[in-house]
Amino acid sequence: MKVLVTGAAGFIGHHVCRRLTATRRCEVLGLDNLSNYYSVELKRARLAELAATEGFRFVQAELADAAQIRALHGQFKPDYVIHLGAQAGVRYSTENPAAYVESNITGFLNVLEACRAVPPKHLLFASSSSVYGAGGRVPFSEDQAADRPVSFYGATKRANELMAHSYAHLYGLNVTGVRFFTVYGPWGRPDMTPVLFARAICEGRPLPLFNAGKNLRDFTYIDDIVDGVIKLLLYPPAEPPAPPYRIFNLGHHRPVEMRLFVQMLEALLGRTAQVELLPPQPGDLIETCADLTRVQAAVGYAPRVPLEEGLRQFVTWFRSYYAFPA
């Protein structure tokens, strides 16, 4: 089958493409704009690993370029589309909201329009636990309102969900949105907690813990996330209901306090963190925890990798990639 993956040089996109090509039954076209929001070198290293796999082809493309996206989609004619390309980062969205409109709103519109012109069997797109915002009740379930995001990033992801619903309703597109919960693992983004914290610990720099380290996060290992994405991709929304549209959480359902997370990293790295306890950060949620009832019933999704093992795998990769000796 033919699968188009946007954000293929990103953390989750890289792992999804690896899993698809490993089956040897998929022809994968990966798109990414290789933005400099974080290290382009890391993105190219991910792509270099993918380039060695059979069935993968990469094209540098800009989601905001409607003509380019429509042409690539129309020429490839994918059976399935996995849309992971986006401007990420909760805190950066307070500094540069225009980047989020261009990538997350305009870019997603262009993907939807391409799918409307040449419909795939299924479009699966990335949302975020950030959509739950101030109105969320832990554990977060998909039937909650999600109408009060506390970050602009979360607002753009909620807008994506509403846009997708309208295209499913108006044009009959089979669409599924997945709300990711704090994904971590090898090849992770350098602007996310595991890499930021591990580097600070290894370099002996101050490690800021907002809300005095009391925030809780539902850390989910990358392999579990990929399992959920592939399972959901292969089972488009059944008819009825109408429109053919669904939303699912993909998380671990075991939130961990950030102070404990730091202690686990310290033990694995064999070094002590220079912790700075700070007030809460604007736009941050105090706690995230995924209710997995709906996705378990739909495709039998069940996370298998405990945080202890996932962090061990992450630290092994981190030491190798960033050349920090044991």
Tokens 């971590």 appear where? 184
Q: What angle do CA 41, 44, 46 make, to 5 degrees?
A: 115
Q: Is 153 annotated as catalytic?
A: yes
Based on the number of CB atoms within 10 Å of its own CB, is 23 exposed (0-12), middle (13-18) or buried (19 or more)? exposed
Q: Which of 153, 167, 221, 301 is catalytic?
A: 153
Amino acid, res. 2: K
Nearest to 13 by CA among 37, 41, 47: 47
Does residue 18 contact residue 90 with C-beta atoms inside 8 Å?
A: no
Based on the number of CB atoms within 10 Å of its own CB, is 6 exposed (0-12), middle (13-18) or buried (19 or more)? buried
Distances in whole angstroms, Cα of residue 131 to Cα of each of 25, 77, 98, 136, 162: 34, 31, 18, 9, 12
CA distance 273 to 195: 13
φ and ψ at 80, to 5 degrees?
A: -135, 150
Based on the number of CB atoms within 10 Å of its own CB, is 162 exposed (0-12), middle (13-18) or buried (19 or more)? exposed
Residues involved in catalysis: 153
